[in-house]
């Protein structure tokens, strides 16, 4: 079944929606620039099915394509707000590249591994990517310490599924999701020590940090948006998750990269408005979801295509 067109929608902290003035398309992984003035998003072409990075300028209401080569997946802003990092198969497998959003300059290749990597989060010069193993049906989180030209190394690696990484603003913590307890939960790991603890208390997906590093937003197993107070410091300390609002977009979690973002001031969320889907049974247990479940978006087939034989 082909993907249905969707809309990009602002939602305030009370859950009130306000659509962006963009035509319905198939959108993936919207990301707001560090200054809050632009939105980078993956858009799937209606005819070819290939995906590209597009950037929407909020004040000018312009929407322009950034990438023009290969099939591109997942996008994250570089800390300077002038470039984006994204995954592309233009060299035969899904590695990470960066490009200026204004179209000038050259495309830089950030990783050169023989595996498919999904660009997820950047802090200072560190880049977090999700690396999948389609045969073992696992995913791990790797970090490129120097951002450009560094040697990728595993950071969160286990037989479990480890997804949705997001660096804290100061780069000292990484929020992520793992199902190692038998249910998907949000965790924190100190960077680079790896020590931390669990943030969610009854299941969670898709964490994202506030710009001051004092809150983590995530989504619970019912699709509601939650907020958790984080006490900054060298050791792990988190408050109880509190519900902000329900699920106005009818969103289910996407694997392996989160499906929404939040403005730097923490006042608005950018979501993808879609038909409401009930969370599948795998979300509350340890069973791996079958590849035909729409929320997973057939990532095993995509991963096999992106990894060379």
Tokens of 55: 């950037």
Count of domains observed in the chain = 1
From 50-54, 190-194, 200-204, 229-233, the region with the lowest mean pLDDT: 229-233
Q: Is residue 160 part of a domain?
A: yes
**Predicted pLDDT at 228:** 97
Residues 166-194: tens digit of each pLDDT: 999 999 999 999 999 999 999 999 999 99
Residues 263-273: tens digit of each pLDDT: 999 999 999 98
Tokens of 104: 């000038």
CATH number, domain of 129, equals 2.120.10.30
| Confidence at 224, pLDDT banded by 50, 70, 90 | very high
Q: What is the mean pLDDT of residues 119-125?
A: 85
Closest to 97 measured CA to CA, from 106, 89, 86, 112: 86
- 110 has a pLDDT exceeding 60: yes
Q: Is residue 133 part of a domain?
A: yes
Q: Is residue 1 part of a domain?
A: no
Q: Is residue 41 part of a domain?
A: yes
| Confidence at 124, pLDDT banded by 50, 70, 90 | confident
Q: What is the pTM (predicted TM-score) of this model? A: 0.86
- 149 has a pLDDT exceeding 50: yes
Count of beta carbons in the 10 Å neighbourhood of residue 177: 30
Q: Is residue 268 part of a domain?
A: yes
Domain housing 151: 7-306
Q: Is residue 2 part of a domain?
A: no
């Amino acid at each position: 079944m082909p993907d249905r067109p969707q809309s990009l929608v602002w939602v305030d902290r009370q859950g009130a929606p306000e659509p962006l003035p963009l035509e319905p398309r198939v959108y993936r992984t919207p990301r707001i620039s560090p200054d809050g003035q632009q939105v980078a998003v993956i858009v799937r072409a209606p005819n070819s099915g290939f995906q590209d990075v597009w950037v929407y300028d909020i004040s000018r209401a312009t929407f322009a394509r950034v990438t023009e080569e290969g099939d591109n997946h997942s996008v994250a802003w570089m800390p300077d707000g002038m470039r984006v990092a994204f995954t592309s198969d233009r060299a035969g497998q899904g590695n990470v590249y960066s490009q200026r959003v204004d179209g000038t300059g050259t495309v830089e290749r950030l990783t050169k591994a023989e595996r498919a990597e999904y660009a997820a989060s950047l802090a200072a010069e560190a880049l977090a990517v999700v690396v999948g193993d389609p045969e073992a049906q696992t995913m791990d989180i790797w970090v490129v310490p120097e951002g450009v030209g560094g040697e990728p190394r595993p950071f969160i690696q286990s037989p479990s599924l480890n997804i949705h990484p997001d660096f804290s603003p100061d780069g000292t913590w990484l929020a992520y999701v793992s199902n190692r307890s038998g249910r998907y939960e949000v965790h924190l790991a100190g960077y680079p020590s790896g020590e931390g603890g669990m943030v969610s208390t009854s299941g969670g997906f898709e964490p994202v940090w506030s710009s001051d590093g004092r809150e983590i937003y995530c989504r619970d197993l019912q699709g509601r948006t939650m907020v958790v107070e984080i006490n900054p410091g060298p050791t792990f300390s988190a408050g109880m998750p509190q519900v902000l609002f329900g699920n106005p977009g009818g969103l289910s979690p996407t694997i392996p990269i989160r499906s929404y973002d939040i403005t730097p001031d923490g006042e608005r969320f950018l979501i993808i408005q879609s038909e409401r889907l009930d969370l599948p049974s795998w979300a509350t247990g340890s069973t791996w979801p079958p590849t035909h479940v729409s929320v997973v978006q057939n990532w095993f087939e995509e991963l096999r295509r992106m990894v060379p034989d």
